[in-house]
Amino acid sequence: GGHTGCCIVVREASTSTNFLLSVLLHLNPLLAYSLKNCAVFPSYDVWDIFVTCADRDLTSIPDDIPENTLSLDLDTNQILTVNRTDLRGLSKLLYLHMECNAMSHIDDRAFEDLVHLRDLLLGSNTLTTVTEDMFQGLFRLENLSLEKNQIQYISPKAFQPLTRLQKVNLCYNRLHQLTEIVPILQLPNLRELVAGMNRFSSFETDDLPFNKSSLKILWFNGNPLRKFSVTKDVFPYLEFLDLSKCVPGFEWDVKENNFLRSLKGLYLSGTEVSFEMYRTIFQSAFAVEYIWLSSIKEWLNIGLIKFVCQMPSLTRLNLTLNNIYTLNATLLQPCSQITELVLSSNAMTNLSEKSLRPLNRLEELYLDNNFLHRVPVAVRGLSKLIVLDLSFNDIGELGCFDFLNLTSLLNLFLQRNRISVLRGCAFKDLKELTELNIESNPVYTMHDTFTVSLRKLFILNMNMNGFQGLRKGDFKVLPSLQALYLQSLMICSVENGTFYGLHHLITLALSAYTVNRDIFRGMPNLKNLTLYLPASGNSLSHQFNEDPPFVFLPFLTSLTIYNSNKKSIVISPNLLCGLQYLEEFTAVTFFTETPHTDTFTYTPRLTSLQITNSHVTNLKPELFQPLTNLQALDLPKNKLRSLNFLTRANLSALIWLNLRDNELTMINETILQSLPALTYLDLSGNPLTCDCLSIGFIEWVKNNNQTQVVNAYQYDCYFPPSKQGTKLLDFDVQSCKMELNFLCFISSACLVVLTLITSFMYHFLRWQIVYACCLFLAFLYDSRNRRKGFPHLYDAFISYNVNDEAWVYREMLPALEGEQGWRLCLHHRDFQPGKPIIENIMDAIYSSRKTICVISWNYLQSEWCSKEFQMASFRLFDEQKDVLILLFLEEIPAQQLSPYYRMRKLVKKRTYLSWPKAGQHTGVFWQSVRRALETEDAPEEDSNLLTAGRAP
Ligand SMILES: *[C@@H]1O[C@H](CO)[C@@H](O)[C@H](O)[C@H]1NC(C)=O
Ligand SMILES: *[C@@H]1O[C@H](CO)[C@@H](O)[C@H](O)[C@H]1NC(C)=O
Ligand SMILES: *[C@@H]1O[C@H](CO)[C@@H](O)[C@H](O)[C@H]1NC(C)=O
Ligand SMILES: *[C@@H]1O[C@H](CO)[C@@H](O)[C@H](O)[C@H]1NC(C)=O
Ligand SMILES: *[C@@H]1O[C@H](CO)[C@@H](O)[C@H](O)[C@H]1NC(C)=O
């Protein structure tokens, strides 16, 4: 490793979906539930869970952390302190991360219950002292970080309980006495101490009141060191010592060479000591194998390298950042034993032809981040070389002799150069090459690149190059290839047979413009395919032939398609035909409409399905029925308005459901209960409704002990507008229960009567009865109001399903109220609270000139909406006025309307309009609505007057 052990906050594996998913997919459904401020991720072990509360502006530790938590991440908050009750009972905790908070104080014994804790990270806070009882109870702690605090004082007893501690990080603090860290150096299991960037002015073993430390790695860089002295044999195990950037010149005093007999690595970059002092150091550190000497250019010039290379065990030399513009023939003359040489970041333009000649044992050579224009002649003939890194240079082309005699080379890195022409002859001696990276070069043709056989090449990375096409047989001489990366920004045509001969290929990333099955011939064992469909400026759209494109890839397990093109793609239902082993399918911006219901009939083993950022609106249960093994379903950034498809989708193995950023307004908890294995549900970013109809869902979120609704306590209310700015789970459930109880009473009374009558008349007069009732009610009401001469308060009453509320508020209100100036009556906004719903509906219909029914699948399934519809259509008959406007949000075939035969009749006769499909212009549509609203109330039989869309 490099210098990074110190002072760089290395965040734990970020909580990326894929990581979590892979965790999730290997476990039984288990206890996981919604926390107020945190998200829970189950681990492989059935009873253990990971909790993350990172980056949420918390000021104290949440009080609902489950007791079986294994890992707790509280990084990046505003937590001020840890008190004795905050972490009580978390005895299973192994990892506790509290970096980047505002803690200036931690209570004594605050961690006492954490008897299993192994990792405690408290970096980037403002602690000033480590108190005597701070770490009581942490018997099993192995790794402690206190970096980037303001610690000046450590109590001598603070570390006593930590007998298992192996690594302590104290860098970037304000310590200045070695005595402060004596208790740490005495810990029986200590391996690594990071004490750089403090204020220590000396490191003298005379100050250490003990005989032996188990320390192996000591970072002591960046201290204002005046003296480093080892006068007794206290560090017999010390292997690595970092004294870099200890400015200015310090005194090195090691009494006997034997004291540093284990020292293998010495970091002296940027350390300014005298030439003589350097010599002294190199003489006493006789066992050193690896030395870092960055930023010491001047000493190199006057011959320091001679003394460095006299160290008998030295094999690895790091000379980065020394401004060695040209490496001359003599500099490395004394270093014939070196096997690894790092000359990165030296602004080097040239290496003299003979400069590496003496290094005949060289195995690894790093020349990256320089200004080389060509592959240096000096590398030719390094027959033992295994790794050659020439990345981040200015190399423009490769010549036939550039890699002459590099017969042992395994890894060649050429990424980020300016190579435009690749000639196959360059690789002719690289018989052993296993990895070749030519990413991010302007190579414009692949043709004739691989003419000599690279029999052992495993990995070829040619991402981000400039070639426009791939031709038949381009890779035929690379028979062992297992991973091939060909992502590119250019439009790429791929000839049939391009991949002939790649029998061992497992992973392929490819940008392609037209995709047909013949381009995938020749690599029958491919398992992972990532397909990029690049953006194109012209009017062509991507082509997916009608033939199933992937039939020649029978063992594919993972397929990912990214589309960057705005144009829509015609995707045939047999897209996935032949992929019977497919386990993961990811499609980003690929589907431009809801996938065909047959799409997944070919992939029964699918466990993970992700369709992101597509225009998916209305999923059918049939789509999922073949997917009996589906465990993770990710549908973020779509336009879903309803989850009804889940009820019959039969997803009995589904664990993970991500519905972020859709248009769901109402969640029906009974639908979610139909998913028996669901433990993880994400509904963030949906415009949720907070009213009495939501209480079932709210209570389910809070009380169910199987499914965690991630971040549920942070979900905002979008509807009704009066609730905006409040949180869904803060909704006052009690106020609805009053109303509900009353409703229950009334409706059960009605039910009794109705059941009596209905059962009586069911066989004869089913529908007629219902209508008669409604008509009668409406008639009564109507005559009452007519007597009163009821004025029209509104231009239109909008009847819609709550799942379509987002559309109504986002699309309809701005157009009709905002631009066209109509007054609309909306259920949520304008209904009078306290009035019975039926009465409210009737009021609304009769005090509006027209009734607009927003018709969608949801609408047809909702009872109230069809009541509204029925009453409005009654008014139509009653008054012989054209009061009804039907807006079809979705394509609904006429035969599907048959249960709603009244509607069907109306559709045939009356005013209807269809919302344009995604991408089409909506202006014409709203103009048609305006005309419909403007028409007088005269009866117009059979007036198919507005046909802005197709006939349903
Ligand atoms: C060489 O040292 C630099 C720091 O001076 C470090 O970043 C780099 O990783 C080292 N290179 C190798 C190959 O160890
Ligand atoms: C610890 O802090 C929490 C809030 O962070 C508080 O509720 C509790 O009373 C405190 N306990 C003690 C012992 O101070
Ligand atoms: C090679 O370079 C080193 C330092 O860069 C210098 O001391 C030495 O004199 C040079 N040798 C020749 C032959 O130029
Ligand atoms: C390459 O190898 C050949 C034969 O082994 C040898 O004759 C030739 O001198 C070598 N070239 C270099 C530059 O090492
Ligand atoms: C490549 O295959 C496709 C689809 O099978 C076919 O239509 C096309 O003609 C083939 N192209 C060539 C050059 O063979």
**Residue 808 pLDDT > 90, yes or no?**
no
| Residue ranges with strand state E in 397-505 | 411-413, 435-437, 459-461, 469-470, 483-486, 493-494
Mean pLDDT of the residues in the chain: 84
Beta strands at 265-267 and 350-351: parallel, antiparallel or unpaired: unpaired
Higher per-residue confidence, 817 vs 145: 145
pLDDT tier at 404 (50, 70, 90 boundaries)? very high
Considering every ligand atom shown, identify the ligand nearest to the alpha carbon of residue 383 and give its number.
Answer: 4
Structure confidence by residue, pLDDT tens digits, 497-521: 899 999 999 999 999 888 888 899 9
Structure confidence by residue, pLDDT tens digits, 555-591: 999 999 998 877 777 788 889 999 999 999 999 998 8
What's the 350 CA to ligand 3 centre distance in angstroms?
Answer: 14
**Residue 496 pLDDT > 80, yes or no?**
yes
- For residue 865, the surrounding DSSP H or E stretch is helix 863-879
Q: What is the mean pLDDT of residues 452-456?
A: 89
811 φ/ψ angles, rounded to the nearest 5 degrees:
-100, -50
pLDDT tier at 858 (50, 70, 90 boundaries)? confident
CA distance 144 to 116: 14
CA distance 494 to 474: 10
pLDDT tier at 945 (50, 70, 90 boundaries)? very low
pLDDT tier at 830 (50, 70, 90 boundaries)? confident
Among protein residues, the one with the nearest Cα to ligand 3's atom 3 is 301
Higher per-residue confidence, 533 vs 384: 384
Among protein residues, the one with the nearest Cα to ligand 1's atom 13 is 342
CA dihedral 18, 21, 26, 30 (to 10 degrees): 160
**Residue 198 pLDDT > 70, yes or no?**
yes
What's the 80 CA to ligand 2 centre distance in angstroms?
Answer: 12
pLDDT for position 10: 35
pLDDT tier at 867 (50, 70, 90 boundaries)? low
Higher per-residue confidence, 47 vs 501: 501
What is the CA angle 526-624-511, rounded to 5?
35
Among protein residues, the one with the nearest Cα to ligand 2's atom 1 is 83
User: One-letter amino acid identity for 877?
Assistant: F
pLDDT tier at 294 (50, 70, 90 boundaries)? confident
Pick from 167-181, 451-465, 789-803: least confident: 789-803
Query: Among 7, 240, 295, 320, which residue has the most ligand 1 atoms within 8 Å of its CB, making it the best to mutate?
Result: 320
Is the CB of 613 inside a 6 Å radius of any atom of ligand 5? Answer: no
CA distance 230 to 722: 74
Ligand 1 neighbours, Cβ below 6 Å, are: 2-3, 269, 292, 294, 318, 320, 342, 366
Structure confidence by residue, pLDDT tens digits, 605-621: 999 999 999 888 889 99
Beta strands at 105-106 and 129-130: parallel, antiparallel or unpaired: unpaired
- Under a CB-based contact definition with an 8 Å cutoff, are residues 243 and 267 in contact? yes
Count CA within 13 A, CB hemisphere, residue 907: 22
Higher per-residue confidence, 547 vs 603: 603
Is the CB of 496 inside a 6 Å radius of any atom of ligand 5? Answer: yes
Higher per-residue confidence, 33 vs 339: 339
Structure confidence by residue, pLDDT tens digits, 693-729: 888 899 999 888 888 898 898 899 998 888 889 999 9
Q: What is the mean pLDDT of residues 146-170?
A: 96
**Residue 8 pLDDT > 80, yes or no?**
no
Q: Could you give the percent of the chain with pLDDT greater than 70?
A: 82
Beta strands at 202-204 and 227-230: parallel, antiparallel or unpaired: parallel
Q: 474-477 contacts: CB < 8 A, separation 24 or more?
A: 474/446, 474/447, 474/449, 474/450, 474/498, 475/450, 475/499, 475/500, 475/501, 475/502, 476/450, 476/500, 476/501, 477/450, 477/451, 477/452, 477/453, 477/501
Structure confidence by residue, pLDDT tens digits, 630-657: 999 999 999 999 999 999 888 999 999 9
CA distance 394 to 370: 8
Q: Which atom of ligand 1 is nearest to the CA of 292?
A: 2
CA dihedral 168, 169, 175, 179 (to 10 degrees): 20
**Residue 372 pLDDT > 90, yes or no?**
yes
Q: Which atom of ligand 5 is nearest to the CA of 495?
A: 13
Q: Which residue has the tokens 């206190």?
A: 146
**Residue 674 pLDDT > 80, yes or no?**
yes
CA distance 194 to 145: 9
What's the 277 CA to ligand 3 centre distance in angstroms?
Answer: 22
Please name the CATH architecture into which domain 764-934 falls: 3-Layer(aba) Sandwich (3.40)
pLDDT for position 703: 86
Q: Could you give the percent of the chain with pLDDT greater than 90?
A: 50
The model's pTM: 0.77
Higher per-residue confidence, 509 vs 8: 509
Q: Largest Cα–Cα distance in the chain?
A: 114
What's the 53 CA to ligand 2 centre distance in angstroms?
Answer: 18
Ligand 2 neighbours, Cβ below 6 Å, are: 60, 83-86
Is the CB of 471 inside a 6 Å radius of any atom of ligand 5? Answer: no
Is the CB of 301 inside a 6 Å radius of any atom of ligand 3? Answer: yes
Considering every ligand atom shown, identify the ligand nearest to the alpha carbon of residue 317 and give its number.
Answer: 1
pLDDT for position 275: 86
Domain layout of the chain by residue ranges: 764-934
Is the CB of 847 inside a 6 Å radius of any atom of ligand 5? Answer: no
CA distance 347 to 132: 51
Q: What is the mean pLDDT of residues 623-631?
A: 93
459 φ/ψ angles, rounded to the nearest 5 degrees:
-125, 125
Radius of gyration of the chain (CA): 37
**Residue 219 pLDDT > 70, yes or no?**
yes
Is the CB of 516 inside a 6 Å radius of any atom of ligand 5? Answer: yes
Higher per-residue confidence, 672 vs 751: 672
